[in-house]
Structure 1
Amino acid sequence: MRSPITGGVLLLLAVLVALFWANVLSGEGYEGVWTTKLTIGIGDLSITEDLRHWINDGLMALFFLVLGLEVKHEFVAGSLRDPRAAAVPIAAAVGGAVLPALIYVAFTVGGAGSEGWGIPMATDVAFAIAVLALLGSRIVPAIKTFLLTLAVVDDILAVLVIAIFYTDTIVPGWLFAAILGLLAIKLLQRAMVTSVPVYVLIGFVVWVCMLESGVHATIAGVALGLITPAGSFRGRDVLHALKDRIEPVTALLIVPLFALANAGVVLTGGVVGDAASSGVALGVLVGLVIGKPVGIALTALLVQRVGLGRLDPVIGVAHLVGIGALAGIGFTVSLFISDLAFDGPELAQLAKIGVFAGSLLSGALGAFLLLRATRPQVPGPPPTARSTPDVE
């Protein structure tokens, strides 16, 4: 159940079910379910959201909590600890985020949908790692490490984009209260308090304050992950213990549920034809399929050439392009940003079609390129033995 393939397969099945539900069964029925209002709480101490937003704003905070834990680990004890080793994938992640955004802007400049430039910046690490796992032992560990490091930095950039550019109105009082909650957790850690219910309660309060502040509520998950102790805490490795408990829940339940609630794009009634001529859909598609691999490969090679970082000798140009193509699988976070970027559902639907097509093509292209770059060497004929004269 902890295999990366399992999470990827469940995510894919959820997408297929959502598409079948919206296109074959009933598009109105699909939307009717996920727009059903649900109130949690009593009186003034209650929150009312539809089911889709409870998933996107609530449950996905746990997904972003795991993301924050991964970032903290990588900076403290992982691949981002060594600046020279981390310089190439960090720069590659930036190049692989900026170029797709520029491509999207080029397709939408002067038209509707230009605010969706953050959509093709993201990488779905679950799908990307699942594809690598399917390729088996042909993929050397250095390739997986490079992709993981790149994906972590990519996630940091996505979180910053969501927090800065896709936040409409900030309510300072609620934001200040959220920050006080985070400080309270740090003080409890310094006091060596180990009561899990206390941390859960304060974490929930931080989430509510972040939700009410106008900053996207999932940022609370990232913040809580980043302030989790990375070393031994009262004899326990809290960071990895927390990650091991929550990650299976997010990979096997929350992310597939997110896909089920958000991937039900209606593809009938000429929508696909509209997407084929839409700058929004084409900008996302080209940004993921071309912008990601080109931006990642060129930036990585440039950083190594000027001596700012070093690249593992086993990773060649073909590997970089293949890794960049896999990074073009932007699925989960790209869908997430699609709903944040646009006010109406029409542009979001077009963007999601671009995400589907771009992620599918990127995954197939990345797998093909990496298999081709790592194909086993065909053994040549054995060397011919040469006779030597006897020495008396």
Structure 2
Amino acid sequence: MSAPAPAPAATTEGGRRRPRLHLGTGDRAAAALLLLATVLAIAWANSPWGETYEAFWGLPIELGVGEVVLRTDLHHFVNDALMTLFFFVVGLEVKREFTLGELTDRSRAIVPVVGAIAGLIVPALIFLAIAWPTGQAHAWGIVISMDTAFLLGALAIIGPKFPARLRAFLLTLAVVDDIGALLVIAVFYNTGFDPAPLAIAVVLMVAIALVRFLRAGRGIAYAVLGIALWFAVLAAGIHPTLAGVAVALLIPVFPPARSDVERTAELTQAFRESPNAAYAAAVNRSLRESISINDRLQGAWGPYISFLVLPIFALANAGVHLNAETIGAAVVSPLVWGIVAGLVVGKFVGITGAVAVVTATGLGRLAPGLRMPRIAGGAALSGIGFTISLFIVSLAFTDPELRDLGRVGVLAASVIAFLLGWAVFTVGDRLWPPQPVGKVLVRPFDPTRDHYRGRTDAPYQIVEYGDFECPFCSRATGSIDAVLEHFGDDVCWVWRHLPLEGVHAHAKDAAQAYEAAALQGRHLELARLMFANQDALETDDLCRYAAEIGLDVERFLDDLHSPKVVRRVEDDQLDAEVMDLHSTPTFFVGGVRHTGPWDSRSLIRALERSVETPRSIG
């Protein structure tokens, strides 16, 4: 397990998080740097200057204020202090997933959650079965955790076709894996509890939870209280890296509010008309406050964790002595074989088996486009254990020889897991070729059915799946109006319904109101009113808007819940389900799903490219 590699910032649509689904150079670069640091550590430890490896990381360090002094060495500073930042970012991601991400949807989360739990338990049981007679069973925590950075990097290197849905599944898997690993470290790898510092730590956590109510200085308050909590947790006998998790879980996360975004736009316009320092400061403050501190911290710290902290950790912990004696001992060591079997076999069997059982019994279902061969390939790559595995090696053993054997086991398991994953993907994709999901519009534009603006034979076509309660849908933001103004009669805009009923209580009724108004030819006028009054979409409000635009209100009410109208909205919802759409707005430009920003300039460029570039779904 490890912090995900930097990716384009997630956006929130209609109260839900758009997952980071695209494999890119960030994943490969982070994994490559981590691998390079590992190779350098091994080369350093086995070079003619190998004795300097332990000597360097054993250099003494003193940290203190006044008479309070913490004495440690460079190796423990990396593992106890720098890795706190890593666990802090992991905690931010966990908090976000439970609040806005994949883990908020039970039906979608249950499969990876159960798979992750099995992927924690089965490896531990396999390790215990092998290592129990040796007296080293206490090191079972080494085999429970996957390394997300290496896993995503390996997935990018192998390059299976259409990997987005699998990547989302593996990220959800990794979040649960993170939680399990953190609990194991807190409960099983502590040095004993001291109640007095533990009580102070509890008081500090209460104070951190209250920081959100400060009108100013929240960043400084989080930093000061977080550092104090780190010292309190250390003094309490708990591994101090868990302080990073505690702070992260107490930091609030929320989707951008439409009012905050509009306020920022107003301030930006004021600055544009009269640039001055006061307006500039107000714009910066408004921009910061419109995005939750969780999002800001992930964006700010994520690259440093992936490209600095984790490579330093690898350099400090992967320096195993690969001499003939160590290799010979590793070959016959139950500890090494327990680690290899736990990570490679345990993760593969545990995750694949649990997912198969959950889907076969109907307790959960895989997302469209995900099949068991893909799950098996991801499960195999989950055996790449590195960051937390090496971390627990340093906690479980004080004997340098046992630490070397533990590191050999982790490194060997990671190589074998990569090769196994590559083989499973190669064979699986050849026997069961994957198909794209949601990339191409399943129901082409039909002028006899669809609601649209523009010419039916226009060279540019854009289909929007939207929600009248979504504050960022195109008509709410005005982006489509700008697109229509730019292209004039050369663009055809099509509206389809995707009411997110789980987060928008009135979205389905609003969609049906649109269809009821369409039966009287006034749906566009009603849509404008509903977008302008998104906080007032009760039935009485809808009737008031119907009267305001001149509809026959009695007929409107009869049509509102009629089978014809309900089926029309549900037809769009079923199309969206087939394409696995779960966020608004979602656009299809020229029949192909648009990814990236949906501001008017981005949509205009995408429309222009749709004519210049032949459509491809490969």
Please tell me the TM-score bracket, short chain as reference. Answer: over 0.9
**Ranges in structure 1 where 5+ consecutive residues have no aligned partner:** 379-392
Structure 2 SS opposite 1:138: coil
Residues 63 and 254, structure 1, Cα contact 8 Å, conserved in 2? yes
State the distance in 1 between where 2:222 and 2:75 align. 26
% identity of equivalent residues = 40
Alignment of 1:57-96 (within 5 A): 57-96=80-119
State the distance in 2 between where 1:364 and 1:298 align. 20
Out of 45, 49, 59, the residue aligned to residue 26 of structure 1 is: 49
**Ranges in structure 2 where 5+ consecutive residues have no aligned partner:** 7-25, 257-287, 435-618
2:456 match: none
User: What is the Cα deviation at residue 72 of structure 1?
Assistant: 0.8
2:389 match: 334
Alignment of 1:259-278 (within 5 A): 259-278=314-333
1:390 match: none
User: What is the Cα deviation at residue 377 of structure 1?
Assistant: 5.3
Out of 29, 35, 41, the residue aligned to residue 12 of structure 1 is: 35
Residues 143 and 319, structure 1, Cα contact 8 Å, conserved in 2? yes
2:302 match: 247
State the distance in 1 between where 2:60 and 2:162 align. 46
Out of 58, 64, 88, the residue aligned to residue 41 of structure 1 is: 64
Residues 11 and 256, structure 1, Cα contact 8 Å, conserved in 2? yes
State the distance in 2 between where 1:294 and 1:48 align. 44
- Normalization by structure 2: what TM-score? 0.59
State the distance in 2 between where 1:224 and 1:368 align. 41
Out of 183, 206, 219, the residue aligned to residue 196 of structure 1 is: 219
More helix by share: 1
User: What is the Cα deviation at residue 365 of structure 1?
Assistant: 1.4
1:134 match: 157
- Normalization by structure 1: what TM-score? 0.92
Structure 2 residue 398 is the aligned partner of structure 1 residue 343: yes
Larger Rg: 2
User: What is the Cα deviation at residue 315 of structure 1?
Assistant: 2.1
User: What is the Cα deviation at residue 42 of structure 1?
Assistant: 4.4
**Letter matched to residue 251 of structure 2:** T
**Letter matched to residue 295 of structure 1:** G
Count of aligned positions: 378
Structure 1 SS opposite 2:190: coil
State the distance in 2 between where 1:83 and 1:194 align. 37
State the distance in 1 between where 2:66 and 2:57 align. 23
User: What is the Cα deviation at residue 45 of structure 1?
Assistant: 1.2
What is the aligned-residue RMSD (CA, Å)? 1.7
Structure 1 SS opposite 2:64: strand
Bigger Cα displacement from structure 2, 169-178 vs 233-242: 233-242
State the distance in 1 between where 2:337 and 2:428 align. 29
1:381 match: none
State the distance in 2 between where 1:91 and 1:364 align. 25
User: What is the Cα deviation at residue 112 of structure 1?
Assistant: 2.7
2:370 match: 315
State the distance in 2 between where 1:358 and 1:351 align. 11
Residues 100 and 287, structure 1, Cα contact 8 Å, conserved in 2? yes
User: What is the Cα deviation at residue 350 of structure 1?
Assistant: 0.8
State the distance in 2 between where 1:160 and 1:61 align. 15
**Letter matched to residue 173 of structure 1:** A
Q: Which has the higher contact order (CA 8 A, sep 6+)?
A: 1
Out of 287, 293, 304, the residue aligned to residue 359 of structure 2 is: 304
Residues 263 and 352, structure 1, Cα contact 8 Å, conserved in 2? yes
State the distance in 2 between where 1:207 and 1:138 align. 44
User: What is the Cα deviation at residue 176 of structure 1?
Assistant: 1.6
CA 1:44/1:365 → structure 2, altered by over 3 Å: closer, same or farther?
same
State the distance in 2 between where 1:197 and 1:63 align. 19
Which structure 1 residue ranges, 4+ long, deviate > 6 Å from structure 2? none
User: What is the Cα deviation at residue 27 of structure 1?
Assistant: 2.8
**Letter matched to residue 255 of structure 1:** L
State the distance in 2 between where 1:345 and 1:168 align. 19
State the distance in 1 between where 2:250 and 2:66 align. 33
State the distance in 2 between where 1:184 and 1:342 align. 36
State the distance in 2 between where 1:137 and 1:19 align. 30
Structure 2 SS opposite 1:47: strand
State the distance in 1 between where 2:305 and 2:48 align. 27
User: What is the Cα deviation at residue 57 of structure 1?
Assistant: 0.3
